[in-house]
């Protein structure tokens, strides 16, 4: 069994922002690179005897979508431009994301849904088009399940 190709790892954002139904949009059309930084919260101290004491609190997950191009009709563009133009914050930026990995035959290896905040960091870009790069901050409530990439529906494990 060989390495899994990066194209088999997909990330989806719910553009309905927690409303009655979900509308997952895949990140990646114009992205050259996308990774989630886990940012583990680890500290190391020494006890009175000089022995190391390691404290691991958890993760502060964050990712950056550097080149998100504005396209008419893209539901995620509508959400991002609304947040940026109206300077929305807090719950107005709360949604969910799905991380989904399959093998070369299309068999799911794993799928996770997690609450997150999406926060635009600028509006502009170069001559290639209007861009709204944004950050994604993991908010917890991560659950495993199955994801149907055709219908874009996530079903949590019971």
Question: Any idea where the domains of the chain sit in the sequence?
Answer: 6-35+62-156
Taking the complete model, does pTM exceed 0.85, yes or no? yes
pLDDT of residue 156: 96
Helix (H) or strand (E) holding 84: helix 75-86
**119-140 burial, b for 16+ CB within 10 Å, e for fewer?**
bbeeeeeeeeeebbbbbbebee
pLDDT of residue 19: 84
First to last CA, the chain: 30
pLDDT of residue 3: 81
Query: For residue 115, which of 17, 8, 10 has the smallest C-alpha distance?
Result: 17
Low-confidence ranges of the chain (pLDDT < 70): 1
């Amino acid at each position: 069994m060989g390495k899994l190709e990066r194209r088999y790892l997909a990330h989806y954002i719910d553009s309905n922002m927690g409303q009655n139904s979900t509308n997952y949009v895949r990140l990646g059309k114009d992205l050259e690179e996308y990774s989630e930084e886990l940012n583990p919260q680890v500290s190391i101290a020494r006890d009175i005897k000089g022995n190391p004491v390691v404290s691991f609190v958890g993760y502060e997950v964050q990712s950056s979508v550097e080149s998100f191009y504005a396209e008419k009709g893209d539901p995620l563009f509508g959400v991002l431009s609304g947040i940026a133009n109206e300077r929305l914050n807090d719950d107005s930026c709360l949604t969910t994301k799905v991380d989904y990995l399959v093998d070369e035959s299309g068999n799911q290896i794993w799928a996770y849904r997690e609450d997150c905040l999406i926060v635009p960091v600028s509006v502009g870009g170069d001559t290639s088009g209007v861009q709204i790069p944004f950050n994604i901050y993991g908010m917890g409530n991560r659950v495993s399940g199955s994801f149907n990439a055709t219908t874009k529906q996530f079903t949590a494990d019971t």
